Amino acid sequence: MGACGREAWLVGTFLVWLVGGMNEIPAGWLGWSAAIRRQVSYGRGIAGWLVMLFGSHAGAGAMSAGHGSGIPGGETPPSTAGGTPAATVGRTSAATVGRTSAVTEAGFMKSGRSAASGLRLLPPIALTEGGFGIRVANADAGPLTLDRLDRIEVLSAMDLGGLPGAWRVLNGPRELTNGLLRMEHVPAAGVSRGFFIARETSAVAEVTVRDAAGLRAAVAAAQPGTWIRMAPGTYPGGFSFANLRGTMEQPVVIAAADPANPPVIEGGANGIQLTDPAFVELRDLVIRGATGNGLNIDDGGSFATPAREVVLRRLRIVDVGPTGNRDGIKLSGVVAFRVEGCTVERWGTGGSGVDMVGCHDGLIVNNVFRHLPSTASEGANGVQTKGGSRNVVIRRNRFEHAGSRGVNIGGSTGLTFFRPPLEATGEHWEAKDIRVEGNTFLGTAAPIAFVGVDGAEVRFNTIYRPERWAIRVLQETTAPGFVPSRNGRFTDNLVVFHSSQWSSGGVNVGAGTAPATFHFARNGWYCLDQPARSRPTLPTAESGGTYGVSPLWVDADAGDLRQAEASPLRQVGADALP
């Protein structure tokens, strides 16, 4: 193994100060930059940083009076390569975060070193569900690329005067969209201020493996920060690794040595199984032909020690099963996870592309789930959240003929498999607080199913040619204490269907549910062959819906379901997700 280091000084830096009612930045605050660099670099280069203060006016005042952060006020920002200070202070009203907190922005600091590796941090944007979005851009006009995305971290601290260990890496939802790294952050209850830094880093240690034995040896020896790079070639499946653990600052990464020529893990009951992992990332691997599950990640049967902080990026998982309840990706008892940029094709006829049992705080984003059209009648799902799963976001994915149910929000789980375990008293549910947004569905018997759910939001999705219904509301787990499927929201979606594939007005409501608790608003509905029959049969009245208006696609026949600029329905569907 060899140590890798990278020095990338501050380039195209922005300071962002969020306070209510204040519209200028004290000049002394610009001196924070040098102190921050001392606190957080420590051999891992900083390419850009973002400082944010959120909360009340009073909290901000305390910071400005005497620099309560502990950062010396007499320092000046570094100069440009030519020695001329590059500090400029400006104001912007482009965003508002929280109650009345205006955003003031100061762009300053250019360095002549490693300019090609610079980052630019944009003003935050308020999120409708609370908190705000952090956006990191390339320093120049070009977009960020996937290879750099893997090296960019966003850190946070409560106080600029804290020790280096006070900075914590954020592992919240993140995605690459239009060349920007986007992350969401919701401050914890009672937190009135916070500071954020973006930096570009590289691996602490690397090892390249070329066969199955080498991979097993490298995993056995892995320490926090180890990158294991798999050389191109075919590796026999059936890998099983227990207690593989990195840290928040230094995850263990297993990745392709050459993402353009990824290794293929062929066969095996499970291509890879990870038991009780923590802070582990898998990147740019192909898993093919597993007879059980393509990738299986679990907590070892005890949610007291859940699998956690797992990231799956740009995996390709194909031809799993091929029959029965066999999943492309199986997650059981996993918390704080992300599945990003993966392609899952042809899993078991009764399984799921991603099956979650008792999983919490996850993001499934920018993936493709593709199955055979015949599976619409055979019980497969694209993505399933069940067994007590909670706080999972399913965003900007593409589902092509992904089975009987595209996204099964809830499901049917044996009572002993719930995570956390069920208690004797209280209310129970298969899934809660699930959000499905910005996805595109092509085919599938029912793209959306609410099954034993207690609260889920489905918004800004494009649903094209569903094969029977757009929505199902069902109850499959009826043991004592389980609430009826309830509190679903279906808003701002675009649903385009053919009358020959449209049953029960497009919505199937089963027994034992609470359909009166569902909310429908601002959806666009269009029947391709009979526009006058575009209005669906919903369990409650819809507000602000649009019926019988044809969208204009870029090229629907070729599967391109983006709306053209002239489309009259651009306010709904996947393209419209804020």
334-374: per-residue pLDDT in tens?
A: 999 999 999 999 999 999 999 999 999 999 999 999 999 88
In this structure, is residue 243 part of a structural domain? no
In this structure, is residue 223 part of a structural domain? no
- Residue 276 corresponds to which tokens in the numbers above? 């009780």
The pLDDT of residue 89? 24
Which residues have a Cβ under 8 Å from the Cβ of 414 and sit 6 or more positions away?
Answer: none
* Regions of the chain with pLDDT less than 70: 1-117, 128-130, 158-167, 172, 189-194, 201-204
- Indicate the residue among 140, 171, 200 that finishes a domain: 200
Q: What tens digit of pLDDT does each residue of 270-323 get?
A: 999 999 999 999 999 999 999 999 999 999 998 999 999 999 999 999 999 999
Cα–Cα distance list, 553 to 226, 300, 399, 506, 530 (Å)? 46, 47, 17, 22, 18
- Maximum Cα interatomic distance, the chain, rounded to a whole number of Å: 74
In this structure, is residue 473 part of a structural domain? yes
CA distance 15 to 18: 10
Residues 310 and 185 in one domain: no
Which residues have a Cβ under 8 Å from the Cβ of 169 and sit 6 or more positions away?
Answer: 153, 154, 155, 248, 249
The pLDDT of residue 202? 59
Total Cβ atoms within 10 A of residue 50: 24
CA distance 506 to 520: 13
The pLDDT of residue 550? 96
Cα–Cα distance list, 138 to 25, 133, 257, 365 (Å)? 25, 17, 25, 21
Residues 188 and 300 in one domain: no
CA distance 523 to 495: 8
Total Cβ atoms within 10 A of residue 479: 8
Residues 182 and 297 in one domain: no
Total tally of structural domains belonging to the chain: 2
Task: List the beta bridge partners of residue 496.
Answer: 464, 526
In this structure, is residue 234 part of a structural domain? no
Residues 401 and 544 in one domain: yes
Task: List the beta bridge partners of residue 155.
Answer: 169, 197
Cα–Cα distance list, 126 to 17, 221, 458 (Å)? 14, 44, 20
CB 568 within 8 A of CB 549: yes
In this structure, is residue 275 part of a structural domain? no
CB 369 within 8 A of CB 398: yes
The pLDDT of residue 127? 75
In this structure, is residue 456 part of a structural domain? yes
- Indicate the residue among 158, 174, 200 that finishes a domain: 200
- Residue 196 corresponds to which tokens in the numbers above? 């954020």
CB 279 within 8 A of CB 248: yes
Residues 174 and 314 in one domain: no
Which residues have a Cβ under 8 Å from the Cβ of 554 and sit 6 or more positions away?
Answer: 560, 561, 562, 563, 564
Chain centre distance of CA 263: 25
CA distance 244 to 311: 13
CA distance 10 to 40: 12
Amino acid at 91: R
Using alpha carbons, select from 518, 538, 525, 446 the residue that is nearest to residue 493: 525
- Indicate the residue among 172, 200, 228 that finishes a domain: 200
What is the CATH number for 351?
Answer: 2.160.20
What is the domain extent for residue 139?
A: 2-200
CA distance 470 to 504: 10
In this structure, is residue 246 part of a structural domain? no
In this structure, is residue 111 part of a structural domain? yes
The pLDDT of residue 158? 67
Residues 191 and 324 in one domain: no
CB 33 within 8 A of CB 79: no
Q: Is the backbone of residue 505 left (phi > 0), alpha (psi -120 to 50) or beta? A: left
* Radius of gyration, CA atoms only, the chain: 25
Q: What tens digit of pLDDT does each residue of 102-161 get?
A: 222 222 222 222 333 478 777 777 776 667 788 888 877 788 887 777 778 777 776 655
